[in-house]
Structure 1
């Protein structure tokens, strides 16, 4: 009887030990799975962080390259003897605007010979010119930051309404994005309106009094900045 009780006790102990071993193994397995899951999560997080960091570096590098490229372009244009205005190279391939309403009752007409009385740039004052276009639109004097990262351009004359992008009415103090390309590094620049001038707006072709270079379809001049040649 005693022998049977001892055998029974041993069997129960063995079964308990087996169950405890199974629980421990299961716990170890769960722990290993948790560790593996944590490692995967860490790898994913590290990968995402590295990717974001890489993208930021790429954007910064691209921005620096764009600025350097723009400055090189300006230097190249200057070396070629291009005309300058407000410290920026003029676009010598300017074309007449499309979609603007033509002014029919302006003081000066297309084809008329005039003398320029504006001082927007060197070689402009008293230059002989021909009116290339007259449009029914107001003109805006603006301050803007060139896209090449150069100095702020102050009191630039002129741009018209279709060359400015802004929310709400165009008036003095309004922040704008410049759409004009009269000069290199002007298009896309951020700025603000300084002054609004009543139209019409004139486009002229003139010969620079300093360099003798011909500026075709120069934008823009006000009626008060032109004088008829008698």
Structure 2
């Protein structure tokens, strides 16, 4: 019985420590952990959008702040794909603090994804390495939207470095460059 009581005390202490350290990142503010890949590899079953609003080679402005230096950047479309994009909350496998409102994980980057899209509140397993500790992490779907997602190349407005094959920006996060 003493062993059971001691174990319960340890569990309570661990859980109370977790509750005190709820440093939750908002709107992808876990940018310190971004693993911006330069790979043009896309998930196996992802299908190209044959008639996207912004065809490959288009010059666009990014109207999203997934990472510092992204919003307002000029970008070139390098891929356009039809899918369902999800905003998720996940707990990184290597970092520990929950990341809320992460944009975007696509349907084809989720373990055991069938044909039907996931619904808000569904618990899923991520199979993607957009950020450190993301691959293999459990996540909760916050929102889902069928859309065209774009892979883009852009010049980071804060660092001046080129970001190649950034995955993913949705159609409503882009606008045509004004001439």
Smaller-chain TM-score bracket: 0.7 to 0.9
The residue aligned with 1:123 is: 69
SS at match of 2:47: coil
Aligned residue pairs: how many? 147
The residue aligned with 2:78 is: 132
Choose between structure 1 and 2: higher helix proportion: 1
Structure 1 pair 180–105 and aligned structure 2 pair: CA distance change class (3 A):
same
Distance in 2, Cα, partners of 1:196 & 1:152: 19
Moved over 3 A (4+): 84-87, 166-169
The answer to whether the aligner puts 1:203 opposite 2:151 as a matched pair is: yes
- Unmatched tracts of structure 2, length 5 or more: 1-28
Higher relative contact order (CA 8 A, sep 6+): 2
Distance in 2, Cα, partners of 1:127 & 1:167: 33
- Unmatched tracts of structure 1, length 5 or more: 1-83
2:119 to 171, 181, 196: 171
Structure 1 pair 167–198 and aligned structure 2 pair: CA distance change class (3 A):
closer
SS at match of 2:172: helix
CA RMSD of aligned residues (A): 1.8
Structure 1 pair 183–226 and aligned structure 2 pair: CA distance change class (3 A):
same
Q: TM-score, normalised by structure 1?
A: 0.60
2:162 to 214, 217, 225: 214
CA contact (8 A) 1:148 1:185 kept: yes
CA contact (8 A) 2:43 2:109 kept: no
Larger Rg: 1
The equivalences for 1:54-93 within 5 A come to: 85-93=30-38
Choose between structure 1 and 2: higher strand proportion: 2
Structure 1 pair 184–94 and aligned structure 2 pair: CA distance change class (3 A):
farther
CA contact (8 A) 2:38 2:166 kept: no
CA contact (8 A) 1:91 1:184 kept: no
SS at match of 2:129: coil
SS at match of 2:147: coil
Distance in 2, Cα, partners of 1:212 & 1:180: 26
